[in-house]
Structure 1
Amino acid sequence: MSEDPWLPEPEDEAAGRVTAALEEIGRRAGSRSFEELSAQVRQLALGQRRLRRLLDAVVAMSADMDTRALLQHIVDVAADLVAARYGALGVLGDSGEFVDLITAGVDAERLKGESGLPQSHGLLGSLIADRRPLRVDDVASDPRSVGFPEGHPVMRTLLGVPLTVRGTVYGNLYLADKYDGTPFGDDDEALLTALASAAGVSIENARLYERLKRATEQFQRRMLPVLPDLAPLRIEARYEPASELPRLGGDWYDATPLPDGAVFVVVGDVTGHDVEAAPLMAQIRNMLRALAFDRCGPPSLVVDKLDRALSTYGDPTAATLVAARIEHEAGVGYTVRWTNAGHPPPLLVTADGTVHVLAPEQHGIPVGVDPALPRPDHSRPLPWASTLLLFTDGLIERRGQDIDAGLRQLAERAATLATAPLHALCDALITRRDAYDDDVALLALRVPSAPERRPRPQEGQPGS
């Protein structure tokens, strides 16, 4: 009994109390009406539990925006609601043929490998044609049945409903063989029909979500530059959007040769993930390129000019970045000069697999915060065949993990790829297999190998 008399009792407890009362009445009355009434109460309690589970399933489906995961969830929930041994969702193509199969209680990949996809004839074909629920108590004796292909479990009973999205049949949701051995009933059909109706809405939402995500990613990628040929330096870049939300991010990279022979590279991240972040990113990138080309000075000077320009904006605009000049001196080699505006530090990976984190004690704050604060420059020689990695924080940040741990893991992975082709290194460091909580931009620049030294001519030979 509930401790608080004003709170309703749980359904199972209330049903138990009613059943106990009915048993007492039955003992006194000595009639069969008790058994019938008790069975009805138990059935009502069971129906309430199933309805509650159906509502929970609908809520869960509405939150799932991955179409494949959603389809699997629909099949699992359907089989659980009706206590069926087997469940399947056959997805239909434009021509009405099955193009995919998601199952519960049977290995879908093995089944497709041995029997192929379901055929749009027989019992399943009638379900497609009629667009009405289908209930069969004995599959083998039904005149529409064409039997089961080799390797397919033999099923005795069947319950199927069409799954429609915007008036078009998206697929068939069907169950087979209840665990208790009874045929499917009216309640089972009503539950599955209700689930299919809610599933159609969820599928449409998931498809719209994925369409928006693709469009957002394409828009973002088109705003990023095509990298120039910087030979003998080699350069590669990657961009990967956040895994969960279709957000317009502010991550970017850029590289451009300068009039004085140096190369200017930058990776940055505009604060925020909304419709304004991407256009601001493009404006900042273009301003930086113009300032770097015009000034041809140390990166701190270029970023300082950017900071002052951003201060003229009506709304505050903040961004983190690393801006660097790659300089070459004949007979000496390459040097990187950089300034860091509140951004994750670059990594320098030498050919022998040693990784240096370029994080001097003195660094700057993000741009757009306080243009009066000075910005320090730093410099370091770039050994022959070494690789410089610049990236945004999405590459090293994970929920529940310290960012320093992410930086160490990235350094360890980069060390094993020190001599790998640059495109392979980038592909290994940023892949679609990883789940990213934020957008990721990565820029990798590799210095050429040491030039071959010509042997000095012997005395008396030409050129001596």
Structure 2
Amino acid sequence: MAHDPWQERGRGQAGDGPVTRPPQRALDRHRLRHLLDAVGAVSTDMDTRTVLRRIVEAAADLVAARYGALGVLDESGTVVDLITVGIDDPQMCAAMGLPQGHGLLHTVVDDQEPLRVADVAAHPRSAGFPPGHPVMRTLLGVPLTMRGTVHGDLYVADKRDGTPFDDDDEGLLTALASAAGISLENARLYEHLKRVAEHFQRRMLPVLPDLAPLQAAARYEPASELPRLGGDWYDAMVLPDGATCVVVGDVTGHDVEAAPLMGQIRNMLRALAFDRGEPPGLVVSRLDRALMMSDDPPTATLVFGRVERGRGEGGQYTFGWSNAGHLPPLVVGADGGTTYLAPARHGIPVGIEASVPRYSHEHPLPPGSTLLLFTDGLVERRDQDIDAGLDDLAEQAARLATAPPDELCDALISRSRQVFDDDVALLALRIPSDDPAR
């Protein structure tokens, strides 16, 4: 509970001495400063719950109340969160649970008007208090509304000097409720936008086809903060010559334009790969020339490759690839050994200069090994060097060398955190094992 520097020194009992109060002008300045601070918190970068807690603290402080609370409603009108001030025991709050939608508190939501009660117990809609709840005598509550929608209610109880709440208290609480209503509506719009953006992004990514005898799995995770539309993608398909084509890429930029540009580049590359069974470097060169026909060509980093088996019985699988400014693929052996495929001749991103040569490379894929292609969101952290992220990925992948590709992808996505600074695309391809039991 925030301390009120203007509260009384005592209640006038014997030996307490005289009650001291500040001049009214000083009190008004104090209230105005706290009101402006609380309203200003809505426009900061703090998370919604932190903003709402500050508003509740300011409400209790401004009207010198012992208790304050803010109830958050979902779109169906059910209380889904309750932020309290003045009850310091978290176990008590957890035991009491959320309000059940009846009694005085719900009157504020039903009537959508401020409510002042001088004697809670005597009010006809009072439902009493749950076990362990402090007994409160006076109440002031206001609804949190925005554009005719009720998002919750803000209320305080029991002034420290024992007096009832007045018109000034109601005006201050109403102003704070307006700020809280804006914050809650913004939070709802933010969550809705995230859901829509993520759905749009996922609809643009392919469902992996059957690549048997290879096993494959892929994952996409959007950035944790808006914008959730990104340019990362994965793709895989079987080519007419029997080779399996794989690609992971990242279009420059993370805004509304990145996702459709990703779709454009992905489709171009699919068509070029399907048209001719050329080495990966030549396919990427063709993509460069196609992109440079645009007045404002999109740019992207990518790894494009072919997985194919040598001729004859027992032929070994190989991975032929070309890297256009992207992070190197990772090969994880069945024994847990790891190798990043990072040859010296590393190409620049596509869409920059079509005359720059592209290179093709080859690497064997032993039985039971796993090829991992990924975008930088999987290994980049704001607080560490990217080499540390690559080392961590290799270490974690080695521990899961024989796990099914789906389990491997899930574990790598969630291995160290739930917050992604950038979106992530991950593709895992498992080579058949010589051991028929595996």
Shorter-chain TM-score: which interval?
0.7 to 0.9
Shift of the 80–349 alpha-carbon distance from structure 1 to 2, 3 Å rule, reads farther
Match of 1:419 among 399, 402, 405: 402
Q: Quick check: 45-54 or 286-295, which moved more?
A: 45-54
**3-state SS of paired residue (1:372):** coil
Aligned length: 417
Residue 207 (structure 1) aligned with residue 188 (structure 2): yes
Q: Quick check: 177-186 or 259-268, which moved more?
A: 177-186
Q: Quick check: 225-234 or 82-91, which moved more?
A: 82-91
Shift of the 387–84 alpha-carbon distance from structure 1 to 2, 3 Å rule, reads farther
Q: Which residue of 2 aligns with 1:234?
A: 215
Q: Which residue of 2 aligns with 1:348?
A: 331
Please give the per-residue CA displacement for 1:193-217, whole angstroms capped at 9, x wherever unaligned.
1111122122222222221221111
Match of 2:375 among 392, 403, 413: 392
Instruction: Say whether the 8 Å CA contact 2:227–2:254 is kept in structure 1.
Output: no
**3-state SS of paired residue (2:217):** strand
| TM-score (structure 1 length as normaliser) | 0.81
Q: Which residue of 2 aligns with 1:274?
A: 255
In the TM superposition, residue 228 of structure 1 has moved relative to its aligned partner by 0.5
Structure with max Cα Rg: 1
**Which runs of 5 or more structure 1 residues have no equivalent in the other structure?**
1-34, 454-464
Q: Which residue of 1 aligns with 2:344?
A: 361
**3-state SS of paired residue (2:298):** coil
In the TM superposition, residue 88 of structure 1 has moved relative to its aligned partner by 2.3
Residues 81-100 of structure 1 mapped to structure 2, 5 A cutoff: 81-82=62-63, 84-92=65-73, 96-100=77-81
**3-state SS of paired residue (1:192):** helix
Q: Write the letter of the residue equivalent to 1:278.
A: A
Equivalents in 1 of 2:253, 2:226: separation in Å? 13
Q: Write the letter of the residue equivalent to 2:188.
A: R
Equivalents in 2 of 1:66, 1:167: separation in Å? 24
Q: Which residue of 1 aligns with 2:296?
A: 315
Match of 1:190 among 171, 177, 186: 171
| TM-score (structure 2 length as normaliser) | 0.86
Shift of the 132–421 alpha-carbon distance from structure 1 to 2, 3 Å rule, reads same
**3-state SS of paired residue (1:62):** coil
**Which runs of 5 or more structure 2 residues have no equivalent in the other structure?**
1-17
Instruction: Say whether the 8 Å CA contact 1:320–1:341 is kept in structure 2.
Output: yes
Instruction: Say whether the 8 Å CA contact 1:325–1:336 is kept in structure 2.
Output: yes
Equivalents in 1 of 2:94, 2:358: separation in Å? 62
Equivalents in 2 of 1:215, 1:335: separation in Å? 40
Shift of the 87–306 alpha-carbon distance from structure 1 to 2, 3 Å rule, reads same
Q: Which residue of 2 aligns with 1:27?
A: none
Residues 374-393 of structure 1 mapped to structure 2, 5 A cutoff: 374-393=357-376
Q: Quick check: 271-280 or 57-66, which moved more?
A: 57-66
Q: Which residue of 2 aligns with 1:17?
A: none
Please give the per-residue CA displacement for 1:322-357, whole angstroms capped at 9, x wherever unaligned.
111111124132111111111111111222222222
Instruction: Say whether the 8 Å CA contact 1:321–1:342 is kept in structure 2.
Output: yes
Q: Which residue of 1 aligns with 2:11?
A: none
Please give the per-residue CA displacement for 1:133-179, whole angstroms capped at 9, x wherever unaligned.
22334434545432111233333443211111221222211223456
Shift of the 336–75 alpha-carbon distance from structure 1 to 2, 3 Å rule, reads farther
Equivalents in 2 of 1:369, 1:93: separation in Å? 48
Q: Write the letter of the residue equivalent to 2:111.
A: D
Equivalents in 1 of 2:424, 2:59: separation in Å? 38
Residue 301 (structure 1) aligned with residue 285 (structure 2): no
Instruction: Say whether the 8 Å CA contact 1:67–1:207 is kept in structure 2.
Output: no
Q: Which residue of 2 aligns with 1:10?
A: none
**3-state SS of paired residue (2:223):** coil
Residue 224 (structure 1) aligned with residue 214 (structure 2): no
Shift of the 358–117 alpha-carbon distance from structure 1 to 2, 3 Å rule, reads same
Q: Write the letter of the residue equivalent to 2:72.
A: V
Shift of the 337–104 alpha-carbon distance from structure 1 to 2, 3 Å rule, reads farther
Equivalents in 1 of 2:90, 2:220: separation in Å? 33
In the TM superposition, residue 79 of structure 1 has moved relative to its aligned partner by 4.0
Equivalents in 1 of 2:86, 2:406: separation in Å? 43
Match of 2:322 among 339, 343, 346: 339
Q: Which residue of 1 aligns with 2:421?
A: 437
Equivalents in 2 of 1:302, 1:94: separation in Å? 51
Equivalents in 1 of 2:185, 2:340: separation in Å? 47
Q: Quick check: 326-335 or 441-450, which moved more?
A: 326-335
More helix by share: 1
Q: Quick check: 309-318 or 44-53, which moved more?
A: 44-53
Residue 372 (structure 1) aligned with residue 355 (structure 2): yes
Equivalents in 1 of 2:33, 2:221: separation in Å? 40
Residue 132 (structure 1) aligned with residue 113 (structure 2): yes
Equivalents in 1 of 2:397, 2:119: separation in Å? 61
Equivalents in 1 of 2:407, 2:61: separation in Å? 45
Equivalents in 2 of 1:70, 1:273: separation in Å? 27
Equivalents in 2 of 1:108, 1:39: separation in Å? 31
Instruction: Say whether the 8 Å CA contact 1:66–1:210 is kept in structure 2.
Output: no
In the TM superposition, residue 410 of structure 1 has moved relative to its aligned partner by 2.0
Match of 1:48 among 14, 25, 29: 29
Equivalents in 1 of 2:187, 2:243: separation in Å? 48
Equivalents in 2 of 1:336, 1:181: separation in Å? 79
| Cα RMSD (Å) | 2.9
Shift of the 452–212 alpha-carbon distance from structure 1 to 2, 3 Å rule, reads closer
Please give the per-residue CA displacement for 1:255-281, whole angstroms capped at 9, x wherever unaligned.
011111111100001111233222211
Shift of the 439–431 alpha-carbon distance from structure 1 to 2, 3 Å rule, reads same
